[in-house]
C-alpha cells in the first residue's frame, strides 16, 4: 500500500477561544507557532483537533470554546488527502436558548460518526507524557481514539456500549434504591455482553499490530538496549487481572459468566464493575512494569513510543500519514528524545508545533514559523 500524506491548506476560526476571526494559510510540512504563554498558540492546534474529532482535547464542555460573550462560533479546515481536496466546517450556535451543533463535510451536513476519521490527526500534549504512569482512563482514551480513526464500526460500538452501560447503571441503582426486579437487567445484560465482547475482540486485534510498532519505535529510541511489551489488562471478578492474548479468551461467555457472578455486587454498588470501560494497557520494560519500576526517562520514552506508534498505526491501516499536533511537548523532552521525535517526523508527516522558544526546533527546509501575540498571528 503506497503512503501519501494528509495536508492541511487553511485553518479558519470565528469566535473560537481568543480569536474573533482568523484565516490562516498553511504553507509547509512543519509549522511552528511560537510566543509567550496564554497568547493563543494551543488554540490553533485545538481548532485542528476539533475539526478532526468534533471535540476538544482540553475540555468536555464545548461552550468553553466560544470567545467570551459570543453566541456562535465556527471552526474549519481545508485539506488534501489521497481522495482529493476536502473541507470540514463545524458550527456551534444558540437557537431558542439551546445549543446546536452542525458538522459539514465538503459542505454537506453529516452525523458525528460520518465525520470521525475523515481528517486523521494525532495530538501529543504534555498530558500524554502521563500515558505510562497516569490513570487507566488515559490509556483507554488513547487506544480507543487510535482504533476509531481507522475503523468506523469500532466508533459505533463504543457509542452503543456507553449508552447501554449508562442504562444498565441507572437500572442497577433503581433496583438497589427502589427494590426493582433483578429480571429487568436481562435484556441490558445481553446487549452489554454482545457489545463488550465485540469491543474487546477489536482491541485485541489492534493491540497485536500496535505491539509490533511500539516495540520497534521504543527500540529505535533506546538503540535496542531495552524491550517494550504492551499487554491488554482485563479486569475480572475478585480483583483478578487477566491478560488475554487470544480473542476467544475474552468472548461473550467470559462476560456472561462474570456478570452472573457479580450481579449482587453491581446492584449494591450501583454500577457495572467489569467491561471494556474498566480495562487497561500494561507496559512492560524488559519484563518489568514500566509504570511501577521505570525511571522518569524510561516512562517518557514509553509515552513517546506510544504516541509515535499511534501515528504509524494509522498510516499502516489507511496508507496515509495523519496530521501530527505537538502541543508544548518540546520543552518537556530532553535533547535526545526531542531529536528522536523530530527525526521521526521530518518529511513524512505534516506537523503543527507550539513552543515558547523557537530555538528548540532545529532548522529544516520545510519549516514555517508563526509568531502569536494576543490572538494575532504573524508569519515569521
334 has pLDDT over 90 = no
Q: Which sequence spans correspond to the domains of the chain?
A: 1-120+322-380, 129-319
- Segment 198-234, tens digit of pLDDT: 999 999 999 999 999 999 999 888 888 889 999 999 9
Cβ atoms of residues 214 and 222 within 8 Å: no
C-alpha cell at 268: 449494591
Per-residue pLDDT, 210: 93
Q: What percentage of the chain carries pLDDT values higher than 70? A: 99
Residue 87 has pLDDT above 90, yes or no: yes
Write down how long the chain is: 380
Q: Is the pLDDT of residue 185 over 70?
A: yes
Cβ–Cβ contacts within 10 Å for residue 4, how many?
A: 14
DSSP three-state, residue 124 = strand
**CATH homologous superfamily for the domain 1-120+322-380:** P-loop containing nucleotide triphosphate hydrolases (3.40.50.300)
pTM value surpassing 0.85: yes
The torsion angles phi and psi of 14, rounded to 5 degrees, stand at -125, 125
* In the block, residue with C-alpha cell 511560537: 34
Residue 3 pLDDT = 63
Instruction: Decide if domain 129-319 falls under CATH 3.90.1150.10.
Output: no
Q: In the prediction, which pLDDT does 360 show? A: 82
Local confidence band at 341 (pLDDT 50, 70, 90 cut-offs): confident
pLDDT at 180: 84
Across 20-34, 48-62, 247-261, 333-347, least confident range: 333-347
| 3-class state of residue 28 by DSSP | coil
Q: Is the pLDDT of residue 331 over 90?
A: no
Residue range 290-305: mean pLDDT, rounded: 91
For residue 306, what is the enclosing H or E element? helix 296-318
75: left (phi over 0), alpha (psi -120 to 50) or beta: beta
pLDDT digits (tens, 9 = 90+) for 232-252: 999 887 778 888 877 777 789
Q: Tell me whether residue 14 is exposed, middle or buried, using C-beta atoms within 10 angstroms of its C-beta: 0 to 12, 13 to 18, 19 or more.
A: middle
Which residue, among 197, 154, 104, has the nearest Cα to 313 in the 3D structure?
154
Task: Report pLDDT for 159.
Answer: 95
At what angle are helices 136-150 and 152-178 packed, to 10 degrees? 140
> pLDDT value at position 197?
96
d(C-alpha 56, C-alpha 60), whole Å: 7
Amino acid at each position: 500500500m503506497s503512503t501519501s500524506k494528509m495536508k492541511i491548506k487553511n485553518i479558519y476560526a470565528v469566535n473560537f477561544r481568543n480569536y474573533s476571526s482568523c484565516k490562516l494559510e498553511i504553507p509547509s510540512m512543519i509549522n511552528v507557532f511560537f510566543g509567550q504563554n496564554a497568547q493563543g498558540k494551543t488554540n490553533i492546534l485545538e481548532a485542528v483537533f476539533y475539526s478532526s474529532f468534533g471535540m476538544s482535547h482540553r475540555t468536555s464542555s464545548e461552550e468553553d470554546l466560544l470567545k467570551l460573550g459570543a453566541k456562535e462560533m465556527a471552526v474549519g479546515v481545508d485539506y488534501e488527502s489521497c481522495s482529493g481536496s476536502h473541507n470540514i466546517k463545524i458550527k456551534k450556535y444558540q437557537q431558542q436558548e439551546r445549543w446546536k451543533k452542525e458538522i459539514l463535510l465538503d459542505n454537506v451536513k453529516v452525523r458525528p460518526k460520518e465525520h470521525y476519521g475523515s481528517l486523521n490527526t494525532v495530538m501529543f500534549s504534555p498530558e500524554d507524557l502521563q500515558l505510562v504512569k497516569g490513570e487507566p482512563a488515559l490509556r483507554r482514551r488513547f487506544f480507543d481514539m487510535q482504533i476509531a480513526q481507522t475503523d468506523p464500526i469500532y466508533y459505533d460500538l463504543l457509542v452503543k456500549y456507553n449508552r447501554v452501560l449508562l442504562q444498565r447503571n441507572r437500572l442497577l441503582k433503581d433496583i438497589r434504591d427502589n427494590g426493582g426486579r433483578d429480571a429487568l437487567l436481562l435484556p441490558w445484560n445481553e446487549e452489554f455482553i454482545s457489545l463488550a465482547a465485540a469491543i474487546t475482540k477489536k482491541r485485541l486485534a489492534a493491540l497485536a499490530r500496535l505491539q509490533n510498532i511500539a516495540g520497534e519505535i521504543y527500540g529505535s529510541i533506546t538503540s535496542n538496549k531495552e524491550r517494550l511489551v504492551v499487554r491488554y489488562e482485563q479486569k475480572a471478578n475478585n480483583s483478578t487481572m487477566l491478560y488475554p492474548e487470544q480473542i476467544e479468551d475474552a468472548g461473550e461467555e467470559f462476560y456472561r459468566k462474570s456478570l452472573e457472578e457479580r450481579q449482587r455486587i453491581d446492584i449494591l454498588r450501583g454500577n457495572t464493575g467489569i467491561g471494556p470501560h474498566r480495562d487497561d494497557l500494561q507496559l512492560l520494560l524488559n519484563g518489568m512494569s514500566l509504570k511501577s519500576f521505570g525511571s522518569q526517562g524510561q516512562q517518557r520514552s514509553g509515552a513517546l513510543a506510544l504516541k509515535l506508534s499511534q501515528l504509524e498505526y494509522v498510516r499502516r491501516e489507511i496508507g496515509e500519514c495523519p496530521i501530527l499536533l505537538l502541543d508544548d511537548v518540546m520543552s518537556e523532552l530532553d535533547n535526545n528524545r526531542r531529536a528522536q521525535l523530530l527525526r521521526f517526523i521530518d518529511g513524512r508527516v505534516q506537523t503543527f508545533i507550539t513552543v515558547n522558544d523557537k530555538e528548540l526546533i532545529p532548522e529544516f527546509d520545510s519549516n514555517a514559523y508563526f509568531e502569536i501575540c494576543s490572538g494575532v498571528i504573524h508569519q515569521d
